[in-house]
Amino acid sequence: MSFLPTADRRYLEERGLAFREVEDGGRKGVILSGFALPAAKFQVVAADILILLPRGYPDAPPDMFYALPWLSLVQSSRYPNCADQPQQFESQKWQRWSRHNNNWRPGVDGIWTMLKRVEQALQEAA
């Protein structure tokens, strides 16, 4: 059963991103499989990224995102700032990236906005 808005599904498909919609304990999420990471930044070149969708999405904004495997910075072998807490989803402990979204525009923003935020956070991770 698909719960993503059509525009979100179309966007992910047009970008050629592997994704699946998952419901776990009443929470809905989108898992992007094998999401490419910035070159030479982390200990792996790709990771699964989880975006939990709040009730009321797309009018309500997603807040944080989550990664598997847990990502550590190559230069320091440490987790990035504000990315060191676990989040249980689908029987796995995901790495929570605490990045809050205060600029969401209901009726305008969608999964594309969240992906840009994820990409920016991964690029700027320190």
Residues recorded for the chain: 126
Residue 85 counted as domain residue? yes
Residue 106 counted as domain residue? yes
pLDDT in tens, 34-64: 999 999 999 999 999 999 999 999 999 999 9
Confidence of residue 2 (pLDDT cuts 50, 70, 90): confident
User: Which domain, by its residues, includes 36?
Assistant: 6-124
Instruction: Report the domain count for the chain.
Output: 1
pLDDT in tens, 79-125: 999 999 999 999 999 999 998 778 899 989 999 999 999 999 999 99
Q: Give pTM, 2 decimals.
A: 0.94
Q: What secondary structure does DSSP assign to 62-120, as a single string? A: P--EEEESPP-BTTTSSPPTT--EEEEETTEEEEEE--------TTT--HHHHHHHHHH
- pLDDT at site 100: 79
Q: Alpha carbon of 123 to those of 17, 25, 26, 29, 105: distances in Å?
A: 18, 31, 31, 23, 23
Residue 60 counted as domain residue? yes
Residue 1 counted as domain residue? no
Please list the residues that pair with 42 across neighbouring strands: 73
Residue 23 counted as domain residue? yes
Residue 93 counted as domain residue? yes
Q: In what order do the strands lie in the sheet with 92-97?
A: 19-24, 27-36, 46-53, 65-68, 92-97, 85-89
- pLDDT at site 51: 98
Residue 82 counted as domain residue? yes
pLDDT in tens, 9-27: 999 999 999 999 999 999 9
Q: What six digits make up the tokens of 14?
A: 């047009």
pLDDT in tens, 95-107: 999 987 788 999 8
| pLDDT greater than 90 at residue 31 | yes
